[in-house]
Chains A and B, each alone.
Chain A
Amino acid sequence: QVQLVESGGGLVEPGGSLRLSCVVSGFTLSDFYMTWVRQVPGKGPEWISYISSNSKNIYYSDSVKGRFTISKDSARNSLYLQMNSLRAEDTAVYYCTRGGSRSLRHMDVWGRGTTVIVSS
């Protein structure tokens, strides 16, 4: 069964760091594009980053560029998001999603999310 399980969220002070993890099962991580999407409750989702199947292509939205880093470890079946210099506006539920095998278009599998709260 294809599944994505996020973890690592929590309460962090402004300027702090957090590392999110997403463990995947039911498919091979190196075969698919993977993304991180976040959502403030009551609002629409926001795409923030993706990594290609071969890890050669990595992109970020302007809202997180220079502060967040996406990576993956296929041996551990895990996707990561290192978040530095966190701001109050980064408060959201963070989702790991799966894209296609040759490109990122729609996202066919989502995790349940992990909550990040940035507050003093």
Chain B
Amino acid sequence: EIVMTQSPATLSVSPGERVTLSCRASQSVSDNLAWYQQKPGQASRLLIYDASTRATGIPARFSGSGTGTEFTLTISSLQSEDFAVYYCQQYNFWYTFGQGTKLEIK
């Protein structure tokens, strides 16, 4: 099983800040990686797929990068609606998710 490790577990940030979330795979997943946003009581939202392609309707402040085992999700200027939990998921070999990074308001 490919293990996905996200860091940090929690990030305290202020609106308007730039933030970078990390995701590491236990073995190469090429660019077969997605990022999701999860908020309580809401359906999770696909943000990024194929490591760097924004999903339909996702604002340009969200960007993804990386390949192989190291990936990042960057939010260029945090908005109030961006405070949520973010998960990475690999689909190179079956499907596994990271344990999440929670963005909280500083």
Residues of A within 8 A of B (CB): 4, 35, 43-47, 61, 95, 104-112
Q: How far is the CA of A113 from the CA of B44 in the complex (A)?
A: 10
In the complex, how many residue pairs between chain A and chain B have their CB atoms under 8 Å apart? Answer: 52
Residues of B that sit less than 8 Å from A by CB: 4, 32, 34, 36, 41-46, 49-50, 55-56, 87, 89, 91, 94-100
Pick the most buried of A45, A106, A108: most chain B CB atoms within 10 A of its CB: A106
Q: Are B43 and A106 in contact (CB under 8 A)?
A: no
Given contacts A104-B91, A106-B34, A106-B89, contact A43 B99 (CB under 8 A): yes
Cross-chain contact A45 with B91 (CB below 8 angstroms) = no
Q: Chain B's interface: helix, strand, loop or mixed, by majority?
A: loop
* Contact A105/B49 with A44-B99, A44-B100 known, Cβ cut-off 8 Å: yes
A105→B32 contact, CB < 8 A:
yes
Name A's interface SS: loop
| Complex CA–CA separation, A111 to B42 (angstroms) | 8
The closest CB in chain A to the CB of B41 belongs to A112
Residue numbers in A under 8 Å from B34 (CB-CB): 105-107
Nearest CB on B from A42, distance (A): 9
* Residues of chain B contacted by A111 (CB below 8 angstroms): 43
How far apart are the CA atoms of A94 and B91 in the complex, in Å? 19
Is B45 touching A104 in the complex (CB atoms < 8 A)?
no
Q: Is A108 within 8 A of B55, CB to CB?
A: yes
Point out the residue from A35, A45, A109, A112 that lies within 8 Å of B87, measured CB to CB.
Answer: A45
